[in-house]
């Protein structure tokens, strides 16, 4: 593989292309400044304006959300995994029908495997622009977003209508639902009963891992973060490992899995037969199966990354733990 071919498989943080109209709450006050990024795969954006950096999926999707302080993402749910880690800033995640069943604050490097089937939202509670990186289960990311009813109703008041085809229409721009396309129906009271109010005590130990705990565990090798025998037990169709500057041996390796490298801190040197590349914080690199490579920090000091690999498990609901 040539350096030019590998560069096409690297999405640089500084070259990410945002979409500000990705979701139904794009005009709703308090949510109208968020930016959505689709890095690998089609993601769950409802807007035709969304730029996709790498279209081919390895069995899951990679995305990101950038938001200024006090900006929030409205309550929604997914049918497959939604995993976030904080790249920049300080974030509050909340969940439940009205967002008051529980909450947790994540700092930089922390990761949250949000259980499927619950309404969740998040907001930047830091003082600067923040960024969270996302891993979404399945090639089609679970088929889209399920919105809490009040989100759809609020959006109508601000000019956005979501069609049953999953596409947004902006009445402020003169758009309307095409013939034969009805509005996305809101969930009924009976359907809402399927979305549980999960208490905090059931969420924190089983679905949240802290950066410095993972750094301690990764001294003697990559720490297993999400997987069958990992810190956060789940089988969402991918495994997540945490790698520190002390984790990897100074030798070549290969795997028959797709391997996505998501850089948290420091700079990393990726060598392979044919070239090398330097990966910086916020960069995402899709290493193809079978390629022999060596991965090392490119300088001394703290360095860390998340490594995501596809598995044979189907994307689906979170395991009960």
Walk along the chain (321 residues) and give the pLDDT tens digit of each residue: 999 999 999 999 999 999 998 889 989 999 999 999 999 998 888 888 899 999 999 999 999 999 999 999 999 999 999 999 999 999 999 999 999 999 999 999 999 999 999 999 999 999 999 999 999 999 988 778 999 999 999 998 999 999 998 889 999 889 999 999 999 999 999 999 999 898 999 888 899 999 999 999 999 899 999 999 999 999 999 999 999 998 887 789 999 999 999 999 999 999 999 999 999 999 999 999 999 999 999 888 899 999 999 999 999 999 875
Question: 3-208: which CATH architecture?
Answer: Sandwich (2.60)
What's the pLDDT at 321? Answer: 54
Instruction: Kindly list the domain boundaries of the chain, sorted by start residue.
Output: 3-208, 211-310
Residue 148 contacts residue 76 (beta carbons within 8 Å): yes
What's the pLDDT at 251? Answer: 86
Structure token digits, residue 188 = 């009924």
CATH 1.10.10.10 fits 211-310, yes or no: no
Domains 3-208 and 211-310 share a fold: yes
Residue 19 contacts residue 53 (beta carbons within 8 Å): no
What is the reported pTM?
Answer: 0.94
Starting at the edge strand found earlier in the chain, the sheet holding 60-67 runs 52-54, 35-40, 60-67, 130-137, 82-88, 111-114, 208-209
Q: 56: how many CB neighbours lie within 10 A of its CB? A: 11
């Amino acid at each position: 593989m040539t350096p030019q071919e590998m560069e096409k498989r690297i999405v640089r943080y500084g070259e990410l292309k945002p979409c500000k109209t990705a979701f139904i709450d794009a005009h709703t006050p308090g949510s109208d400044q968020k930016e959505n990024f689709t890095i690998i795969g089609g993601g769950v954006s409802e807007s035709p304006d969304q730029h996709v950096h790498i279209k081919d999926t390895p069995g899951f999707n990679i995305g990101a959300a950038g938001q200024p302080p006090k900006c929030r993402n409205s309550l929604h749910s997914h049918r497959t995994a939604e995993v976030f880690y904080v790249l920049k800033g300080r974030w509050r995640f909340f969940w439940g029908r009205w967002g008051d069943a529980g909450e947790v604050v994540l700092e930089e490097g922390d990761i949250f495997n949000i259980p499927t089937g619950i309404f969740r939202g998040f907001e930047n509670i830091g003082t600067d622009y923040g960024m969270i990186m996302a891993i979404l289960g399945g090639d089609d990311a679970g088929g889209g977003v399920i919105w809490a009813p009040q989100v759809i109703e609020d959006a109508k008041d601000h000019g956005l209508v979501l069609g049953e085809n999953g596409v947004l229409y902006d009445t402020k721009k003169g758009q309307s639902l095409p013939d034969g396309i009805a509005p996305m129906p809101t969930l009924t009271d009976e359907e809402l009963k399927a979305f549980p109010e999960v208490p905090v005590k059931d969420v924190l130990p089983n679905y949240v891992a802290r950066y410095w705990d993972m750094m301690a565990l990764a001294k003697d090798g990559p720490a297993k973060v999400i997987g069958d025998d990992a810190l956060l037990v789940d089988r969402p169709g991918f495994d997540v490992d945490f790698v520190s500057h002390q984790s990897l041996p100074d030798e070549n390796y290969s795997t028959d899995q797709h391997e996505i490298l998501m850089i948290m801190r420091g700079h990393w040197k990726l060598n392979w037969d044919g070239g090398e590349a330097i990966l910086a914080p916020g960069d995402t690199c899709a290493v193809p199966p079978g390629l022999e490579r060596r991965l090392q920090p490119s300088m001394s000091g703290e360095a860390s990354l998340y490594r995501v690999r596809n598995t044979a498990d189907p994307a689906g609901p979170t395991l009960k733990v």
